[in-house]
Chain A
Amino acid sequence: MSTPTRVAVTGMGAISAIGMDVPANYRSLQASRHGIGPIQLLDSAHCGNLLVGEVGITNDELAQRLEIPAGEAYTRTTLLALIAAKEAIAGIGLADGKRTGLISATTVGGMDATERYYDDYLVVETHRHFIPTHPCGYATEQMAHYLGVTDYVTTISTACSSAANAIMLGARMIKAGLLDRAIVGGTDCLSRFTINGFNSLMIYTDGHCRPFDEQRNGLNLGEAAAYLVLERADAASKAPIAYLTGYGHANDAFHQTASSDNGDGAYLAMKQALEVAGMEAAAISYVNAHGTATPNNDLAEGQALLRIYGTAASIPPFSSTKAFTGHTLAAAGAIEAVFSILALQHQEIFANLNFSQPIEALGIVPQTTLLPAEINHVLSNSFGFGGNCSSLLFSNAHD
Chain B
Amino acid sequence: MSELTQELKAKIIAQLNLEDLTVADLDDNTPLFGDGLGLDSIDALELIVMLDKSYGIKLSDPKEGRKVFETIQTMADFIEANRT
Contacts and interface: CB of A to CB of B under 8 A. Distances in A.
The reply to whether A and B meet directly (CB within 8 Å) is yes
Interface of A: 200-202, 255-258
Nearest to A201: B45
8 contacts: A200-B45, A200-B49, A202-B61, A255-B40, A255-B41, A256-B42, A257-B42, A258-B41
Contacts of A255: 40-41
Interface in B12-61: 40-42, 45, 48-49, 61
B45 to A, nearest CB: 6
B42 A202 contact: no
B73 to A, nearest CB: 24
Interface of A is mostly: loop
Interface of B is mostly: helix
A202 B45 contact: yes
A214 to B, nearest CB: 14
Contacts of B62: 202
Given A202-B48, A202-B61, 11 more contacts: A200-B45, A200-B49, A201-B45, A202-B45, A202-B62, A255-B40, A255-B41, A256-B42, A257-B41, A257-B42, A258-B41
Contacts of A256: 42
A278 B59 CA distance: 49
Contacts of A200: 45, 49
A397 B45 CA distance: 47
A90 B32 CA distance: 57
B26 to A, nearest CB: 24
A257 B40 CA distance: 11
Contacts of B41: 255, 257-258
A200 B40 CA distance: 16
Nearest to B41: A258
Nearest to B40: A255
A55 to B, nearest CB: 30
A258 B45 CA distance: 13
Contacts of A258: 41
Contacts of B48: 202
A102 B44 CA distance: 41
Contacts of B40: 255
B25 to A, nearest CB: 25
Contacts of B45: 200-202
A255 B43 CA distance: 12
